Amino acid sequence: MSLSELQQLYREDGVVFLPGALTSEDLAKVEHAYDWMLANPNETHVKFYPKEDATFLQATGYSADVPAFAPMLKETPIPRICAELFGNAERPGPVWYLGEQLFLKEGGAARRTPWHQDSSYLAFNGDKIAVMWISLDPLPPEACLEVIPGSHKGITWNGSMFHPDDDTIPLYAKADLPRLPDIQVERSNPDSPWDIRSWPVTPGDVLIFHTACLHGGGATMPGQRRRTLTLRFFGDDVAWIERPQRNDRLSGQNKGKGRTVQHTIGEPLSKSPLFRQVYPLISKG
């Protein structure tokens, strides 16, 4: 597939799968960042569904300036891949690092990651925004991330609270955003409207999707481990938007380095001091 075709596919579907995009050397740098995050927990290290035996861990909230991230962000093609998706046929677009999210499922049967859109949790949006989902373990399609192509162009749903009894319990108590449908139940209906895609993954494969795409993670079985790192990047059209006040402990998309970040609705995210440009690479000011 040509670059222009790949760019068009991302614009239309909001998701692309790139087999073998990373070499073993690239993947080692991703694993180094992953292992460093596990060894250096912060307040965002949360075990989802703590009453269950299996571990379902997530962590986020670090910075592009973390030394352990430098090889991954400076010495692999990861930022350039996003830059090419954000650009046009002639040249890549500039890219800023938005953040990361670590996931670990192991120690038994770990339940699904609920269906949701990342954009529901974020106070910014735009066309040039991407989540790069990287697995450090080989996975069959049923244990991988599942995505609904084209859903980034549709409804923005209220976020999931990741409640153990109901995946659709809203993130925002007071919002105009509609409640999430029960996609996992509805998918078994012969007339289901949900076009769900997933891919078997070999380490080195990369799945990239827009933050507004509906997606959810497959369950893992006993004896199976799923280590994934998601890296988020954005381009020059992403701007701050209005979002209701969240009620969960993971709210903080407008915070960093211990302070609240002041911003103006409509202002480009690239102007925020929180986010480091990673392509083309510029020296730290």
- pLDDT tens digits, one per residue of 47-104: 999 888 899 999 999 989 999 999 999 999 999 999 999 987 677 889 999 999 999 9
Count: domains in the chain = 1
Averaged over 262-285, what is the pLDDT?
85
Say yes or no to pLDDT of 266 above 60: yes
| Residue that wins the pLDDT comparison between 282 and 247 | 282
Averaged over 99-119, what is the pLDDT?
93
**Rounded to whole angstroms, how far apart are CA atoms 156 and 247?**
18
Say yes or no to pLDDT of 255 above 60: no
> Is 9 inside any structural domain?
yes
Averaged over 124-130, what is the pLDDT?
96
Cβ neighbours of 278 (radius 10 Å): 24
- DSSP readout, 224-264? --EEEEEEEEE-TT-EE---PPP-STT--TTEETTEEPP--
CATH number for 233: 2.60.120.620
Q: Helices 3-13 and 78-86: crossing angle, nearest 10°?
A: 80
pLDDT digits (tens, 9 = 90+) for 179-198: 999 999 999 999 999 999 99
H/E element, 114? strand 113-116
3-state secondary structure of 139: strand
Do residues 120 and 175 touch, judged by C-beta distance below 8 A?
A: no
Backbone angles phi, psi at 23, to 5 degrees: -80, 170
> Is 284 inside any structural domain?
no
Q: Which domain holds residue 75?
A: 3-279
* Percentage of the chain lying above the pLDDT 90 cut: 79
Residue 285 tokens read as 């000011």
> Is 250 inside any structural domain?
yes
Residue 118 tokens read as 């990342």
**Rounded to whole angstroms, how far apart are CA atoms 54 and 162?**
16
Say yes or no to pLDDT of 259 above 60: no
* pTM score of the predicted model: 0.92
Q: What is the pLDDT of residue 253?
A: 40
> Is 245 inside any structural domain?
yes
